[in-house]
Amino acid sequence: MVRFENVGLRYGMGPEVLRDISFSIEPQSFQFLTGPSGAGKTTLLRLILLALKPTRGLIDLFGHDVNTIQKDTLTALRRRMGVVFQDFRLLEHLTTYENVALPLRVQGRDEASYRAEVVELLRWVGLGERMHVLPPVLSGGEKQRAAIARALIMQPDLLLADEPTGNVDPSLARRLLRLFVELNRSGTAIVIATHDLALMDQFDSARRLVLGDGRLHIYD
């Protein structure tokens, strides 16, 4: 579903942050993306999300070359990807329920057609009791799970999560990992960017994409 061939990226006139990156993400696969701080994990995720264009090389996303993609195709491809940002990006004036339902509302869907779906997803992430409160009242871990639910409501083919356990204690990190593994078993491809070694060790059969010095090393 994602293929990079000799991709390079530099910001403005700066040095190349990513150099000759080649790899693929297969449907229903699970991988960690890791490497030291500043290695380019977020940059790589932003390339997949079409938030950045490569300076050189080829990126193929769901069978489309991102360099020649039309704007309407771009929107359709973005919809196939769910993303959990490092800083959650929840809207503070909307309840947990409303935040998670927002992508559906934006699509113009009628609330009656999705209410049960949103409630079920919120229960699945353990926020059944917190759906009517505003984000400032949620704990870090609850915000994290709300952000995950919002990324999942559109049933993406690919879920990208940037440091999803960065702000939670180890026991919640384990629960979140179980959530991602369960989701993967139901068919979603997953990329988790993290430098949490303990987290990766809990799922050591997962593929590891390791960034360092602008290059990518793959451990299957």
Ligand X SMILES: Nc1ncnc2c1ncn2[C@@H]1O[C@H](COP(=O)(O)OP(=O)(O)OP(=O)(O)O)[C@@H](O)[C@H]1O
Q: Do the Cβ atoms of 163 and 194 come closer than 8 Å?
A: yes
Alpha-helical runs (H) found in the chain: 41-48, 71-79, 96-106, 111-124, 140-152, 170-185, 197-201
The CB-of-193 to ligand X minimum distance in angstroms stands at 7
Which residues are at the interface with ligand X (CB under 6 A)? 11, 14, 17, 35, 37-43, 195
Dihedral of alpha carbons 81, 146, 88, 98, sign:
positive
Nearer CB in complex with ligand X: 142/163: 163
Nearer CB in complex with ligand X: 17/154: 17
Nearer CB in complex with ligand X: 11/219: 11
What does the block give as tokens for 101? 């339902």
The CB-of-14 to ligand X minimum distance in angstroms stands at 6
On the CB side of 103, CA atoms within 13 Å amount to 21
The CB-of-163 to ligand X minimum distance in angstroms stands at 7
Nearer CB in complex with ligand X: 95/214: 214
The CB-of-48 to ligand X minimum distance in angstroms stands at 12
Residue 101 and residue 115: Cα distance in Å, rounded? 8
